[in-house]
Amino acid sequence: MSSGSSAGKQPLRRGKACLNCRHLKIKCDGVRPVCGQCQRVPKDDECEVLETKSRTQDLENTILQLQSRIEELQSNTCSVLYPGQQIYPKANSSDSDSSQSSDQSYQGFKEPSRDMIQSLIHHFLPHASELGFFIHPGRFLEAALLPLPFGHERRPSPALLCVVYLWGVHLSQAPDEPIFLKLAKEYISIEIGAHRAIHTMQAHVLLATYLLRNTHFLEAEFYANGAAVLALGYKLHKVRTSRPGVDGSPELSGLCGSPDAVQEGERIRGFWAAATLQSNIHILLESANRALCILETKGCEIDTPWPLEIAEYEAGALSSEYRGQESLRQFLTAEPPPVPWATSSSSTTTSMCTLEAQASVLLFRAARLAGAWTPDLQPHELQSHISSHTWLDARITQLWAFLPSDLSGPTFLATHTLTAAAAIKLHSSPGMTAQQTTCVAAARALISCLRSSASSSSMPPLIPTPRVGPPIVGALAFLACRILLDEVGRSRAFRAVWAELGVGVEDAEAAGEEVELREGMGVMSAWGEGDPLVGYYLGKLGREYEAM
């Protein structure tokens, strides 16, 4: 039997069909250098196979690229933030062992008093869920207050403790913020070891969120990428996978010990916290189409189930029998879409953590799609773009309709604003100018969410403290106000054209748009009082409005 006939009888591996057969959607026999279909009916294009890498190779390349980006940002960060300054003396070359270096550093740091530690943590914990805190707060508090030395294995990791202390100092408006910021960076840089992996990832997430709130955007991206690298490195995107040959047990590669339900929940929540933080920062930096993101990376399909509240894991909400795969693909392409948009097929309710993560995914997809449009798209590319736009619009509309109207909790507000922002991003694409009305309606809905949240806030505390909310909400409020600002600009341009023609126009609608914009900025200011990121965006809006 010839090799050609033998090859034709065996199913081809994925990606081995030639480009002509793929385009025509016909069966390819995979014979090289010219397949049977191309020999039988010669085509204009050569018979060519697009060589693809294995999923493992793709994943390894992704991690290497993320690590390269981290090193690039780290070199810039170190030269800008604290050149020549060291919190602790560097170890001699003879004492360069990492464990010895870590031990020496731990011994060189004197923790605050127990009362001060308790005070700092109690300033932080009420806002923890808004800041990306994914581990069990009760267990963390209990371990943090143990009368054991700093760095002891039964206490939270030094990096995590320092970042929590930093947040406590920031929220209590104590004067030692720069000191704790340096300590947090120092301990994150030396903290290694699988037994600390989840705590180290949590420290990265919290520090990135802190830096984002304080408008240090590149540093925030650096630490968010660090969390993403840890999540991929410890295979947290494969928790409970059903793929044959892939370890989907709780004892994932590289992580120590067999976790209980809460610890496994921390791993699931940690993966989604890192993934959504990274994607949200890309949205904020307008780099969704340029930067690597673990939500859309070849070779790292996400099998991990959607996140739940930590109390839900404690109550056994995730069945020990559950296994799954391709959580993102099922969420995005299932027909009809799952309602409620649940964590697993056995779920009867939907966690707000799940909805928030799904809203982040839709926002990232919308930003990627909007950024992919160019006026040079070929007819088939344009048709594909329009189809993707229609499909994504339907998903956003379905999620929006499913969201509860209650905005009293931080997760509720974040989910509503993320969903509204996804609609804004999708409909503000340069190729979709006919849908400007939908875009403006989404911007108004986002501002309305902020207004409702601000008005439903509890009475102010006796001691004034900065308002705390997910940093992405402030950035998305800016996005909504920018849409209203663009509407004002269009109305002014329209009136200017008519004025040149000698025609007076009384545009009550334009006047109303200006009032609406000022009200939107007022709502943004009230909601984000004391928030440096919101203040940054308000200043930017004000300058653009004055220059119009």
Name the residue among 323, 305, 233, 293 with its Cα closest to residue 269: 305
User: For residue 263, what are its two tokens?
Assistant: 């610890």
Number of H helices, E strands in the chain: 21, 0
- What's the whole-number mean pLDDT along residues 489-510? 67
- Examine residue 336 and say whether the peptide bond preceding it is cis (omega within 30 degrees of 0): yes
- pLDDT interval class at 8 (50, 70, 90): very low
Which has more pLDDT, 422 or 51? Answer: 422
Least confident of 59-63, 256-260, 343-347, 433-437: 343-347
Long-range contact pairs involving 539-546 (C-beta distance under 8 Å, separation at least 24): 540/478, 541/478, 541/481, 541/482, 541/485, 544/482, 544/485, 545/485, 545/488, 545/517
Least confident of 299-308, 363-372, 508-517, 525-534: 508-517
Least confident of 17-26, 184-193, 362-371, 481-490: 17-26
pLDDT of residue 527: 83
pLDDT of residue 101: 39
Mean pLDDT is highest, among 107-121, 200-214, 238-252, 407-421, for: 200-214
Least confident of 42-56, 82-96, 207-221, 222-236: 82-96
Cα distances from 313 to residues 263, 268, 286, 404, 528, in angstroms, run: 9, 10, 35, 22, 32
Q: Where are the alpha helices (DSSP H) in 244-378?
A: 261-284, 310-314, 327-333, 352-372
Name the residue among 141, 128, 131, 223 with its Cα closest to residue 185: 223
Least confident of 99-113, 217-231, 383-397, 424-438: 99-113
Share of the chain above pLDDT 70, in %: 72
Compute the Cα dihedral for 57, 59, 60, 64 and give only its sign: positive
Q: What is the 3-state secondary structure (H, E, C) of 5-50?
A: HHHHHCCCCCCCCCHHHHHHCCCCCCCCCCCHHHHHCCCCCCCCCC
- pLDDT interval class at 245 (50, 70, 90): low
Q: What is the 3-state secondary structure (H, E, C) of 494-532?
A: HHHHHHHCCCCCCCHHHHHHHHHHHHHHHHHHHHCCCCH
**Burial of 287: CB neighbours in 10 Å, binned 0-12, 13-18, 19+:** middle
* Four-CA torsion 76, 77, 82, 86, nearest 10 degrees: -100
pLDDT of residue 198: 94
Compute the Cα dihedral for 416, 530, 177, 174 and give only its sign: negative
- What's the whole-number mean pLDDT along residues 307-318? 92
* DSSP classification of residue 244: T
Does residue 370 contact residue 425 with C-beta atoms inside 8 Å?
A: yes
How many Cα atoms sit within 13 Å of 193 on the Cβ side? Answer: 15
Does residue 341 contact residue 315 with C-beta atoms inside 8 Å?
A: no
Share of the chain residues as helix, strand and coil, in percent rounded to the nearest 5: 65, 0, 35
- In sequence order, the β-bridge partners of residue 324 are 241
State yes or no: pLDDT of 484 exceeds 50.
yes
* Residue whose pair of structure tokens reads 């309305």 in the numeric block: 448
- pLDDT interval class at 348 (50, 70, 90): very low
- Examine residue 33 and say whether the peptide bond preceding it is cis (omega within 30 degrees of 0): yes
290 alpha-carbon distance from chain centroid: 15
Which has more pLDDT, 511 or 372? Answer: 372
Name the residue among 81, 88, 106 with its Cα closest to residue 181: 81
pLDDT of residue 286: 84
State yes or no: pLDDT of 6 exceeds 50.
no
> For 502, left (φ over 0), alpha (ψ -120 to 50), or beta?
left
Name the residue among 481, 504, 496 with its Cα closest to residue 420: 481
State yes or no: pLDDT of 92 exceeds 70.
no
pLDDT of residue 82: 30
Name the residue among 271, 111, 253 with its Cα closest to residue 205: 271
* CA pair distance 263, 256, nearest whole angstrom: 11
pLDDT of residue 452: 83
- pLDDT interval class at 515 (50, 70, 90): confident
- pLDDT interval class at 377 (50, 70, 90): confident
State yes or no: pLDDT of 186 exceeds 80.
yes
* CA pair distance 25, 291, nearest whole angstrom: 32
- In sequence order, the β-bridge partners of residue 241 are 324
User: For residue 180, what are its two tokens?
Assistant: 């704790």
Does residue 50 contact residue 293 with C-beta atoms inside 8 Å?
A: no
User: For residue 528, what are its two tokens?
Assistant: 């984000």
pLDDT of residue 462: 39
- pLDDT interval class at 489 (50, 70, 90): confident
How many Cα atoms sit within 13 Å of 521 on the Cβ side? Answer: 20
The 10s digit of each residue's pLDDT in 420-442 is 999 999 988 765 655 778 888 99
State yes or no: pLDDT of 173 exceeds 60.
yes
- What's the whole-number mean pLDDT along residues 234-260? 70
Residue type, 257: G
- pLDDT interval class at 71 (50, 70, 90): low
Name the residue among 528, 431, 523 with its Cα closest to residue 484: 523
The 10s digit of each residue's pLDDT in 207-231 is 999 999 999 999 999 999 999 999 9
What is the chain's mean pLDDT, rounded? 79
First-to-last CA distance in the chain?
A: 77
Residue type, 459: M
State yes or no: pLDDT of 339 exceeds 70.
no
Least confident of 64-73, 133-142, 513-522: 64-73
Share of the chain above pLDDT 90, in %: 38
Which has more pLDDT, 260 or 24? Answer: 260
pLDDT of residue 224: 95
